Amino acid sequence: MPANRTYRIAVLPGDGTGPEVVREGLKVLQAAASASGFAHDLEQYDLGGERYLATGEILPDPVLDELRGFDAIYLGAIGHPEVPPGILEKGLLLRLRFELDQYINLRPVKLYPGVDCPLKDKGPEEIDFVVVRENTEGLYGGMGGFQYKGTPQEVSTQVHLTTRFGAERAIRYAFELTRRRNKMRQLHLVAKTNVMTFVHDTWWRAFNEVGEADYPDIRREYAHVDATCMWFVKNPEWFDVIVVENMFGDIITDLGAMIQGGMGIAAGGNINPQGVSMFEPIGGSAPKYTGQNVICPLAAIGAVQMLLDHLGEKDAAARIEQAIVKALTSGKIKSLSAGRMGMGTAEVGDLVAGLV
Ligand code: IPM
Ligand code: MN
């Protein structure tokens, strides 16, 4: 248990339904703090689409510098229907991930009992793996541009930026996690080595060299990304831990979210093992449901669980997970889909907080 148990947490509720799910996450955080005996100071930031539309500010440098000083960041959702695509995503979410060097995007795919799974004959026994998505490179690196834009000769490129350093640190993190998890002791590299013969060759060699040298106890497996989508549906039980580059990781984790019960329950962490990490529900801002008290807050609550686990508050994290499972098996929550829970967002938050 950490020696200093007062945590400073920056809260970025963001856009759309972000604020309403974050509110429930904070309820559960409070309940966990009382039960486990730690303290927390919250500081709220109004970053997001509304602030941008009102002031033109996305992520002012002084705010970014303040954020570097917190123990963790708790984020709701980024994305506003009146802001053109890319502005908030690149200027806020991706900028935070890059500037804070949160080079791991950790996305557990775990089907809890009591949750409807769209896969026939698959249950909690079959769906329990973790995706380690590299979070600072690849197609997200932002290199590229236009030539002759707007003419018939238009050329555009988007460079898949890969460094041995970036691939290797994600791979090492994933090997360590596989060892710690101690489940199947098996790590999959997911890539497309048959087409991305440069960048994924770097990944392939890093994966094998690191595994060979330092993790002989971990079985190495490889799957192409397209086949991985097939296996997620057909044989999800084959996976323990997956390490994957940024864009493919983005794509397969939406599929992963669906097989664990949907965006209402999928949480993730943007992790800098040496710095400040940021936890979020992985779904978007769902603007059409804003303010209706119909969106499922369990993903945001799961993000609090991951945040506490990351801070070393293992007891509190375990309490939250147990409370989520109790809530899901209580029969009270009819579905995790927006508008079909049979309860409101705030009522689900109350239910889980009461079970912590
Ligand atoms: C995610 C999101 C982001 C991403 C978008 C909003 C930039 O889809 O967190 O998975 O692509 O990483
Ligand atoms: Mn995504």
Q: Are strands 277-281 and 267-271 parallel, antiparallel or unpaired?
A: antiparallel
Q: How confident is the model at residue 263 (pLDDT cuts 50, 70, 90)?
A: very high
What is the best residue among 58, 73, 89 to mutate for testing ligand 1's pocket, by most ligand atoms within 8 Å of CB?
89
Q: Are 25 and 303 in contact (CB under 8 A)?
A: yes
What ligand 1 atom has the least distance to the C-alpha of 282?
Answer: 9
Q: How far is the CA of 96 from the centre of ligand 1 (A)?
A: 12
- Using the mean position of ligand 2's atoms as its centre, give its distance from the Cα of residue 200 in Å: 21
Q: Which of 328, 354, 332 is nearest to 114 (CA)?
A: 328
Ligand 1 pocket residue status of 255, Cβ below 6 Å = no
Mean pLDDT score of the chain: 97
Q: What is the pLDDT of residues 123-182, one digit of tens each?
A: 999 999 999 999 999 999 999 999 999 999 999 999 999 999 999 999 999 999 999 999
Question: Residue 219 and residue 208: Cα distance in Å, rounded?
Answer: 11
Count other C-beta atoms under 10 Å from residue 4's C-beta: 8
Distances (CA, A) of 122 to 43, 51, 302, 334: 41, 44, 22, 19
Q: How high is the pLDDT of residue 2?
A: 80
Q: How far is the CA of 250 from the centre of ligand 1 (A)?
A: 7
By the 8 A CB rule, do 285 and 22 touch? Answer: no
Is residue 46 within 8 A of residue 63, CB to CB? The reply is no
Taking phi over 0 as left and psi of -120 to 50 as alpha, with beta for the rest, 261 belongs to left
Query: What's the burial of 256, exposed, middle or buried (CB within 10 Å: 0-12/13-18/19+)?
Result: buried
Tokens of 154: 């238009």
Tell how strand 39-44 and strand 219-224 pair up.
unpaired
Looking at residue 84, its amino acid is P
Q: Are 267 and 156 in contact (CB under 8 A)?
A: no
Please write the tens of the pLDDT for every residue from 317-349.
999 999 999 999 999 999 999 999 999 999 999
Three-state SS at 61: helix
The arithmetic mean of pLDDT across residues 232-236, rounded, is 98
